[in-house]
Amino acid sequence: MGIEIIFLILAVLVVAFGIGVVVLNRRRQGVQPEQRPPARPLQPRPGGGSTLVDERPPTTTPGALVPDELVDEPPPIEEPPAGTLRERLAKARSTFAGAISGVLGRATITEESFEDLEEALLRADIGVGIADELLSVLRAKVKAKEITEPAGLLDALDAEMKERLAGADRSLNFETLDDGGTNVWMFVGVNGVGKTTTIGKLTKQQVDAGRTVLLAAGDTFRAAAAEQLTTWAERSDVEIVRGAEGADPSSVVFDGVEKAASKGIDVVMADTAGRLHTKSNLMDELGKVRRVAEKGAGKVTETLLVIDATTGQNGLIQAREFGEVTDVTGVVLTKLDGSAKGGIVFAIETELGIPVKLVGIGETIGDLIDFDSDEFVSALLER
Amino acid sequence: MFDNLSNRLEGIITKVRGKGRLTEADVDDVMKEIRTALLEADVNVTVVRSVCNRIREHAIGATRSKALDPGQQVVKAVNDELTRALGGETLSITYADKPPTVILMAGLQGSGKTTNSAKLANWFKSQGRNPIMIGSDLQRPAAVEQLRTLGRQIDVPVFSDPEDPILTAADGLEEAKRLGRDVVIVDTAGRLSIDAQMMEQVRLISGAVNPDYTFLVIDAMTGQDAVQTAEAFHNTLQIDGVIMSKMDGDARGGAALSVKEVIGRPIAFASTGEKIDEFEQFHPDRMASRILGMGDMLTLIEQAEKAFTEDQAEAAAAKLMEGQFTLDDFLEQMQALKKMGPLGGLMGMMPGMPKELKDAKIDDDDLKPVEAIITSMTPEERVFPNIIQGTRRARIAAGSGTTVADVNRLVKQFGEMQKMMKKMGMAGKPGKKGGKKGKKGKGSRAMPKGLPAGFDLEQAGIDISGLPGAPGMPGMPGLPR
């Protein structure tokens, strides 16, 4: 870092402060009196919580807390209702058919048809970039007279999207390790996406499928996170390794791996605290958890990024950042049973090449299912 | 969090601000960019459409009017629309005549209700109130345990009964009255807006406690769904305000805009970090400025006020404007700046900062050579850097462990900075001295002495709308951009 740039930055800040005082005064002196009464006390707020830019060190002190993680929990073990993803999501979908039926309601393909399709894609959180891309493919086909009917437009879009998601390996990776080591499946993501619940559901499924599982409560940060995971361990009758609140998550996961290996357990499901991908120290911590998990008799064979279906365009950034520190191998899309369509995973898979492997579509333990890309696209474009 | 949006808008506005007249094609370009920017920020499609239509009307008007620079008109239209869409003013809590004041928290799973219940309780405590929290989330395993842990941390009692969420709420309210607590915060389970049974449950909880305020907690990272969710909760519960959680991420938070537009209720609070006190009342005007590339100047100032004493600030600002700013002052400011937090974070809040500077990763350690050079100077050299020639340079370089070229560059840049400050000071000269008299409050006391009341930032070449090309320090020559 050259002296020049450092000095420049300092100069900017020093000057900016001077200007800031002026601007502030102008504002307080009646430029916007109705919004900013001059008498407003400006004492620093208690605890100094007024910053919008958080650059603090990792907060593992007892005074800190994490936003609410996962939430509604299934009543214990119930059989999943039968039916396809699409059928099961019908109630959520019915409210939004507007834009798509607009396309079909016209006798011919017009500019409005494209606008309606764009709106449908945007509403599903596909993102403006990919929506433009998909539509330009359609426009080209219309121009070449390959498509002449409005229904053909929808079919072509459906086919194009399915094509883009085709061929990915969506199975959960399990390896038989020579040295009797254990598979470690890590779960990462921002706060409140459903990591702990996903682990709970997946554990039950793996146990039912005949594998032995141990849970490692790597979220040592959020109040009562370990209690939440313990409830899940009890529901599937598997062992759990916990650390003290505020303990180093790497050591909890390491202990879990060691214990699992010594008992010949197949899979360790490692929970981690939710963290915003912008906090570099917390992301470093996550990288460490992954490295330490392989220090002993374990191999990380899956790192699953959990994404909430309501997530907007920020999801792509999350996937990129988590991918950088933990080498994410798959995405779990949760809460798809709500009114959100989870289109951001389309962007994550097609732009970053991270396959979506599982979908959470309800609150019962069976409501975690394999991701079916065709069903997903059909549900997204439900007419 | 709106950084990228502001960068994008800055880019657009640069294109039009120089023009004397906007053509239809210009307006189309501008509108397309604004639309994309808003969509990428997760503003709801429908909201984008209405906001864009209103901006467009103003922008078209701009092509016909010669009274104002059309670029300025577009900026104004965008600013007005965003400010309006975000809500005009900060929601202020009116406490119930007959305590307790009851607050109900609702939202989707994982939006942050439990954490924000505790943050809100802590905020009420800081306002001199005695809150109690009621754990009506009996759905998620250990949710009440989480609330109790948080309650212990902030020394706020928690009431819960594992039997029934509705009874818990009702009994909790009685308990609050018995204990004489004047604010009651009811945490509820997360629920999907389309889950009729669960929505009915929260409606009954609401009926049982008859809340004065019902807050909907929404994750700042939410996409298009924010609108459906907000509408559904509003239809069931009559939402009074929104709490935006996870605002410390880099999500652009278009949801804030959408929700306000659709349910017409203000964003009341924002959660800005993981610590329990990282929670504040939402300031729509600040957020709108931030979208427009103003940077969050007010937040910056508040941080500055914590780090600098008032006297220091006044003296520095005055010297700065009069161009009597020495390297000693600079050193002092720099050290105070370090107290305000990592420089990278501060840069991010600056309006109109060139992207290269915003993205420059600076470690506070990188400042050491600068400090070393200045501290290796004699007091005389610090006041009159012009005298630093040949042997002095070599001595300073040796003393600070840097090179002669480094010393040269620093001295040269400081000279340019001084020149520029003088220019700013001159522009402000015609006015009278001092701030308005008789005003209480820190604001006017922080007014730098010697700073003319009529000081015009635009006149001084400082564009307070923080547009590119005027990155807070116009006229600074030879800056690498």
Counting every residue, how long is chain A? 383
Average pLDDT value for residue range B326-341 = 76
Residue range B91-134, pLDDT digits in tens:
889 999 999 999 999 999 999 999 999 999 999 999 999 999 99
Q: How far apart are CA A314 and CA A85, in angstroms?
A: 25
Looking at residues B2-6, what average pLDDT do you find?
49
The closest alpha carbon to B340, from A19, A119, A13, belongs to A13
- Residues B229 and A310: their CA atoms lie apart, in Å, by 10
What the block records as the tokens of A353 is 């090449």
SS3 of residue A299 by DSSP: strand
Q: What domains appear along chain B, each with residue ranges and CATH number?
A: 3-86 (1.20.120.140), 101-293 (3.40.50.300), 300-445 (1.10.260.30)
The A298-308 sheet, strands edge to edge: A239-241, A213-218, A267-272, A182-188, A298-308, A330-334, A356-360, A368-370
Phi, psi of B309, rounded to the nearest 5 degrees: -80, 160
CA of B454 vs chain A CAs: smallest distance (Å): 9
Strands (E) located in chain A: 182-188, 213-218, 239-241, 267-272, 298-308, 330-334, 356-360, 368-370
Q: What are phi and psi of A366, to 5 degrees?
A: -85, 0
**pLDDT at residue B390, rounded to an integer:** 83
pLDDT in tens, A301-322: 999 999 999 999 999 999 999 9
Answer whether B442 sits within 8 Å of A23, measured CB to CB.
Answer: no
CB A103 within 8 A of CB A115: no
pLDDT of amino acid A39: 37
Cβ–Cβ below 8 Å for B313 and A17: yes
- Range with lowest mean pLDDT among A212-216, B188-192, B320-324: B320-324
Q: Taking residues B188-199, what's their average pLDDT?
A: 92
Mark yes or no for CB contact B89/A70 under 8 Å. no
Cβ contact, residue pair A335, B337, below 8 Å: no
CB within 8 Å: B301 and A20: yes
Q: State whether A18 and B471 contact (CB < 8 Å).
A: no
Amino acid in the structure at residue B478: G
From chain A, the residues in CB contact with B110 under 8 A are 68-71, 191-194, 308, 335
Of A166-170, A181-185, B215-219, B269-273, give the lowest mean pLDDT range.
B269-273
Q: Is A108 exposed, middle or buried (0-12, 13-18, 19+ CB in 10 A)?
A: exposed
User: pLDDT at position A312, please?
Assistant: 93
Distance (Å) from the alpha carbon of A54 to chain B's nearest alpha carbon: 6
Contact residues on chain B for A73, CB-CB shorter than 8 A: 139-141
Q: Which residues of B touch A1 (CB under 8 A)?
A: 360, 362-363, 366
**The pLDDT of residue A284:** 94
Tell how far CA B216 is from the center of its chain: 21
| Amino acid making up residue A145 | K
Say what the pLDDT of residue A62 is. 39
Say if residues A125 and B223 touch (Cβ distance below 8 Å).
yes
Residue with tokens 């029934």: B164
Neighboring chain B residues of A47 at a CB cutoff of 8 Å:
122, 126, 275-277
Q: Cα–Cα distance between B373 and B396 in angstroms, integer?
A: 6
CA distance A291 to A254: 10
Q: What is the C-alpha to C-alpha distance for residues B425 and B317, in angstroms, rounded to an integer?
A: 10
Distances (CA, A) of B281 to A92, A379, B96, B171: 34, 39, 19, 30
Q: Where are the domains of chain A?
A: 182-328
Edge-to-edge strands, sheet with B183-188: B158-159, B131-136, B183-188, B101-107, B213-219, B241-245, B267-271, B279-281
Mean pLDDT value of segment B278-286:
80
Q: Note if the bond before B342 is cis, omega within 30 degrees.
A: no
Task: Give yes or no for residue B69 having a pLDDT over 70.
Answer: no
The number of beta carbons lying within 10 Å of the beta carbon of residue A2 is 12
pLDDT: which is higher, B375 or A22: B375
On whether any CB of chain B is under 8 Å from the CB of A168, the answer is no
The DSSP symbol for B141 reads T
What is the predicted ipTM?
0.74
pLDDT interval class at B452 (50, 70, 90): very low
Lowest mean pLDDT of A89-103, B385-399, B463-477, name the range: B463-477
Q: Chain B within 8 Å of A246 (Cβ-Cβ)?
A: no
Are residues A72 and B139, on separate chains, in Cβ contact within 8 Å? Answer: yes
pLDDT for residue B468 is more than 70: no
Looking at chain A, which residue has its C-alpha nearest residue B47? A123
Q: What is the pLDDT at residue B82?
A: 78
Our CA-based measurement puts residue B15 at a distance from the nearest CA of chain A, in whole angstroms, of 22
Helix or strand or coil: residue A72?
coil
Beta bridge partners of A269: A185, A215
**Angle at CA of residue A308, ends A187 and A237, nearest 5°:** 45
Q: What is the pLDDT of residue B367?
A: 76
Q: Any idea which fold A182-328 has?
A: Rossmann fold (3.40.50)
Q: Which residues contact B49 (CB under 8 A, 6 or more apart)?
A: none
Backbone angles phi, psi at A185, to 5 degrees: -110, 115
Higher pLDDT, B165 or A38: B165
Structure confidence by residue, pLDDT tens digits, B15-41: 666 666 667 777 787 788 788 878 888
- Six-digit token string for A139: 């426009």
If DSSP codes are grouped into helix, strand and coil, which group holds residue B256?
helix
Q: Give the pLDDT confidence score for residue A203 in this predicted structure.
A: 96
Tell me what pLDDT residue A58 has: 39
pLDDT of residue A87: 61
Alpha-carbon distance of A73 to B88, in angstroms, equals: 38
> Which residue from B370, B439, B462 is facing A10, i.e. has the nearest CB?
B370
CA–CA gap between residue A171 and residue B202 (Å, rounded): 39
Whether the predicted model's global pTM rises above the 0.80 cut = no
Count of pairs with CB atoms under 8 A, one residue in A, one in B: 414
Smallest CA–CA distance, residue B383 to chain A, in Å, is 17
Cα separation, B283 vs B87, whole angstroms: 9
* Cβ contact, residue pair B110, A68, below 8 Å: yes
Rounded Cα–Cα distance for residues B186 and B132 (Å): 9
pLDDT < 50: residue spans in chain A: 1, 20-82, 91-96
Rounded-to-integer distance, Cα B270 and Cα B421, Å = 36
* Rounded alpha-carbon distances, angstroms, from residue A312 to A93, A355, A381, B251: 18, 18, 18, 8
Of residues B276, B348, B472, nearest to A16 (C-beta): B472
For residues A270 and A218, the answer to whether their CB atoms sit within 8 Å is yes
Find residues 109-138 of chain B whose CB sits inside 8 Å of chain A: 109-116, 118, 122, 126, 137
Position B225 scores a pLDDT of 92
Cβ of A102 under 8 Å from any chain B Cβ?
no
pLDDT at residue B248, rounded to an integer: 83
Residue B16's pLDDT is what? 64
Q: Which two tokens stand for residue A103?
A: 């396309």
Provide the CB-side half-sphere exposure for B26 (13 A, CA): 20
Contact yes or no for B241/B267 (Cβ under 8 A): yes
What is the β-pairing status of strands A368-370 and A356-360?
antiparallel
Please indicate whether, in this complex, the C-beta atoms of B410 and A3 are within 8 angstroms of each other.
yes
**Which residues in chain B have their CB less than 8 angstroms from residue A20's CB?**
297, 300-301, 304
Q: Which residues contact B5 (CB under 8 A, 6 or more apart)?
A: B37, B38, B40, B41, B252, B254, B291
Q: Phi and psi at residue B384, in whole multiples of 5°?
A: -120, 80
